[in-house]
Every structure is written in structure tokens, then in C-alpha cells.
Amino acid sequence: MRDEEQIRRTLAEFCVFLDERRFREWSELFIMVDVEGDEARASADLVMFDKFSDRPWFILTGTYTDHLVRDGGRWRFKNRQLALLAAGDA
């Protein structure tokens, strides 16, 4: 799998694991090591609709800025920042 495809997969896994509340797998996407080689940067838009019990729908939008590194042949997040654009009830 090419580097770009692996990075896309990591970005997708972040969303899937979080949406499905698979927090252990989600947490494994992150590492806490400074690496000088095999690094990548990416950005992704966020549009999240969430609802808990009888509360109104909550809408969140923003942009993730990512710093990824290759770790043992797999891409992992070194840093992921979210800049919120808007939040509100639907």
C-alpha cells in the first residue's frame, strides 16, 4: 500500500473508531515520539452530527491539521489539532 493510501486509511480509522466508540483502537493511532524521518502532514474537514437521548442534535464543524509519522511500517498520528469553525444545535 502506498504512503498516501496508508495516510488516508489512518484518517478514516480515526473517524470510524471514534464514531463506534472503539477508544482502545482509536488511541493506538497516536504516538508520543519525535521522529525526524518518514513524516507527513495532512488536513481534513470535520462535520459531526451527534445526538444523546432526547436532547437536540448537536452540529460541530472544523478542520483537523495532522502531523503523522511512520512507525513500524504503519502511519500514526504524532499530533492532531482541531480548529472549530462553528458549533450549535439543529
pTM equals 0.60
What does each C-alpha distance from 81 to 16, 57, 63 come to in angstroms?
18, 24, 8
Q: What is the dihedral of CA 58, 80, 25, 69, to 10 degrees?
A: 160
Q: Report the percentage of the chain scoring pLDDT > 90.
A: 20
Q: Running DSSP on this structure, what letter comes out for residue 56?
A: P
Q: Residue 76 belongs to what domain range?
A: 3-89
For residue 83, give the CATH number of its domain.
3.10.450.50
Number of domains in the chain: 1
Q: What does the pLDDT look like over 64-88, one tens digit per residue?
A: 988 999 988 889 899 999 999 865 5
First to last CA, the chain: 40
